[in-house]
Protein backbone atom coordinates (compact mmCIF):
# COMPACT_ATOMS: atom_id res chain seq x y z
CA UNK A 1 0.00 0.00 0.00
CA UNK A 2 1.32 3.40 -0.94
CA UNK A 3 1.63 5.58 2.17
CA UNK A 4 -0.72 8.48 1.39
CA UNK A 5 -1.55 9.03 5.06
CA UNK A 6 0.42 9.75 8.20
CA UNK A 7 0.24 10.45 11.91
CA UNK A 8 1.91 13.61 13.15
CA UNK A 9 2.94 13.75 16.80
CA UNK A 10 3.36 16.84 18.94
CA UNK A 11 3.19 17.53 22.67
CA UNK A 12 2.07 20.39 24.91
CA UNK A 13 1.75 21.19 28.62
CA UNK A 14 -0.77 24.03 28.56
CA UNK A 15 -4.31 22.83 27.82
CA UNK A 16 -5.34 26.18 26.32
CA UNK A 17 -2.40 26.07 23.91
CA UNK A 18 -3.18 22.45 23.03
CA UNK A 19 -6.81 23.29 22.30
CA UNK A 20 -5.69 26.18 20.07
CA UNK A 21 -3.52 23.80 18.02
CA UNK A 22 -6.29 21.18 17.80
CA UNK A 23 -8.99 23.66 16.80
CA UNK A 24 -6.82 25.25 14.13
CA UNK A 25 -5.83 21.95 12.51
CA UNK A 26 -9.44 20.69 12.44
CA UNK A 27 -10.90 24.02 11.27
CA UNK A 28 -8.39 24.25 8.41
CA UNK A 29 -9.12 20.63 7.35
CA UNK A 30 -5.48 19.73 7.95
CA UNK A 31 -6.45 16.80 10.19
CA UNK A 32 -9.31 14.31 10.12
CA UNK A 33 -8.89 13.23 13.73
CA UNK A 34 -6.73 14.29 16.66
CA UNK A 35 -6.40 12.16 19.76
CA UNK A 36 -4.92 13.38 23.05
CA UNK A 37 -3.12 11.22 25.59
CA UNK A 38 -1.56 12.21 28.91
CA UNK A 39 2.15 11.31 29.11
CA UNK A 40 5.21 11.98 31.25
CA UNK A 41 8.21 13.23 29.27
CA UNK A 42 11.83 12.94 30.39
CA UNK A 43 14.35 14.95 28.37
CA UNK A 44 17.43 17.13 28.46
CA UNK A 45 16.89 20.77 27.50
CA UNK A 46 19.70 23.36 27.51
CA UNK A 47 21.87 21.15 29.69
CA UNK A 48 19.24 20.36 32.32
CA UNK A 49 17.24 17.16 32.72
CA UNK A 50 13.49 17.74 32.90
CA UNK A 51 10.44 15.63 33.68
CA UNK A 52 7.11 17.14 32.64
CA UNK A 53 3.50 16.07 32.52
CA UNK A 54 2.53 16.64 28.90
CA UNK A 55 -0.19 15.67 26.48
CA UNK A 56 0.63 13.94 23.22
CA UNK A 57 -1.40 14.68 20.10
CA UNK A 58 -1.90 11.97 17.48
CA UNK A 59 -2.86 13.91 14.35
CA UNK A 60 -4.27 11.82 11.48
CA UNK A 61 -3.75 13.49 8.11
CA UNK A 62 -2.52 13.08 4.55
CA UNK A 63 1.19 12.94 3.75
CA UNK A 64 0.68 15.70 1.19
CA UNK A 65 -0.44 18.06 4.00
CA UNK A 66 2.50 17.43 6.34
CA UNK A 67 4.32 20.71 5.67
CA UNK A 68 1.11 22.70 6.21
CA UNK A 69 0.43 20.79 9.44
CA UNK A 70 3.98 21.51 10.63
CA UNK A 71 3.64 25.21 9.77
CA UNK A 72 0.28 25.43 11.54
CA UNK A 73 1.69 23.83 14.69
CA UNK A 74 4.70 26.16 14.67
CA UNK A 75 2.47 29.23 14.35
CA UNK A 76 0.34 28.23 17.35
CA UNK A 77 2.72 26.30 19.62
CA UNK A 78 4.01 27.86 22.83
CA UNK A 79 7.24 25.80 22.88
CA UNK A 80 10.48 27.26 21.51
CA UNK A 81 11.25 23.92 19.81
CA UNK A 82 8.13 21.72 19.73
CA UNK A 83 8.25 18.04 18.91
CA UNK A 84 6.75 17.59 15.45
CA UNK A 85 7.28 14.09 14.07
CA UNK A 86 5.67 12.48 11.04
CA UNK A 87 5.01 8.72 11.02
CA UNK A 88 3.75 7.08 7.83
CA UNK A 89 0.62 4.95 7.91
CA UNK A 90 1.65 1.88 5.94
CA UNK A 91 -1.65 0.05 6.23
CA UNK A 92 -5.09 0.32 7.73
CA UNK A 93 -8.81 -0.21 7.33
CA UNK A 94 -9.71 1.26 3.94
CA UNK A 95 -12.93 2.75 5.32
CA UNK A 96 -10.96 4.75 7.89
CA UNK A 97 -8.34 5.81 5.35
CA UNK A 98 -11.08 6.92 2.96
CA UNK A 99 -12.55 8.97 5.80
CA UNK A 100 -9.18 10.72 6.34
CA UNK A 101 -9.14 11.43 2.59
CA UNK A 102 -12.62 12.96 2.74
CA UNK A 103 -12.00 15.06 5.86
CA UNK A 104 -8.66 16.56 4.88
CA UNK A 105 -8.30 19.04 2.05
Work out the mean pLDDT of the chain and round it to a whole number.
Answer: 96
Residue 52 clears pLDDT 80, i.e. is over it: yes
Residues in CB range of 62: below 8 A, 6 or more apart: 4, 5, 6, 100, 101, 104
Residues in CB range of 101: below 8 A, 6 or more apart: 4, 5, 62
pLDDT value for 3: 76
Choices 3.30.2350.10, 3.90.1300.10, 3.30.559.10, 3.30.70.120: CATH for 5-103: 3.30.70.120
pLDDT value for 1: 46
pLDDT tens for each residue of 9-34:
999 999 999 999 999 999 999 999 99
Amino acid sequence: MKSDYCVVLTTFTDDENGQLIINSLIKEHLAACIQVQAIKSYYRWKGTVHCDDEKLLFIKTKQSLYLEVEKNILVHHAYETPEIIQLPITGGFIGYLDWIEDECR
